[in-house]
Amino acid sequence: MQSKIIKMDSGVLIKNLQKRGFIIGEVNKDILYNIEKKYKEEGGDRQTIAAQYNINSNLTKMIKIFSVLDRYNINYIHYIMILISIENSKLNNLYRYIMVKWNSLISKIKNNKISEISQIEKMNNFRFIPLKNIEETKVLEEILRRFEEFVFLDNQKFPNIYILFLVNNIQEYLCPI
């Protein structure tokens, strides 16, 4: 099902990436779906449920960030599977791409080319900053920290334009249409 708030369905994105030779790691797929199943059955907090599965902190943080998509009926697990499958150099490039796109949007706002956006003050105050001098093993952790800060700029207010900006740009970067 094509959603009007994202460029393409996350399942279609995965299929397109696989056609292009991108290997989607499925190591955590069952765990992620079990966490989601338990959440749907019992309610509560996804991070608390995830802790029962003894998964690493990056995966828990991804659940926190991307589960916001559930409110839009978008399969957030697909985005987690994609991100954990990206090697660090491509992850750095993805981060840079999102940084450039965000900074470009902010520039347009400052030049009054986009006047219909509310929350301009919060948007103007957030900057993706370049990753510098980060250990190879800490790249994903640092990118997730910055994504989390970005996605929750408006304290999880619905609709969350930041998560939509993030996933649309992940799609655009990985699978240009």
Query: Exposure of 70 by Cβ count < 10 A (0-12 exposed, 13-18 middle, 19+ buried)?
Result: middle
Q: Which of the two residues, 37 and 156, has the higher pLDDT score?
A: 37
Reading the block at residue 112, the tokens are 């009054």
Q: What stretch of H or E contains 18?
A: helix 10-19
Give the whole-angstrom CA distance, residue 72 versus residue 4: 10
- Region 22-32: mean pLDDT is 88
Nearest to 57 by CA among 135, 129, 140, 149: 140
Whole-prediction pTM? 0.85
Longest CA–CA span in the chain (Å) reads: 49
**H helix runs in 24-177, sequence order:** 29-42, 46-51, 57-66, 76-85, 88-110, 120-125, 139-151, 161-174
Whole-number average pLDDT of the chain: 85
Query: Exposure of 153 by Cβ count < 10 A (0-12 exposed, 13-18 middle, 19+ buried)?
Result: middle
Give the whole-angstrom CA distance, residue 20 versus residue 90: 15
125-141 tens-digit pLDDT: 566 777 787 787 888 99
pLDDT score of 103 = 85
Q: How confident is the model at residue 112 (pLDDT cuts 50, 70, 90)?
A: low
Question: Which residues have CB under 8 Å from 4's CB, separation 6+?
Answer: none
- The distance of Cα 77 from the centroid of its chain, to the nearest Å, equals 10
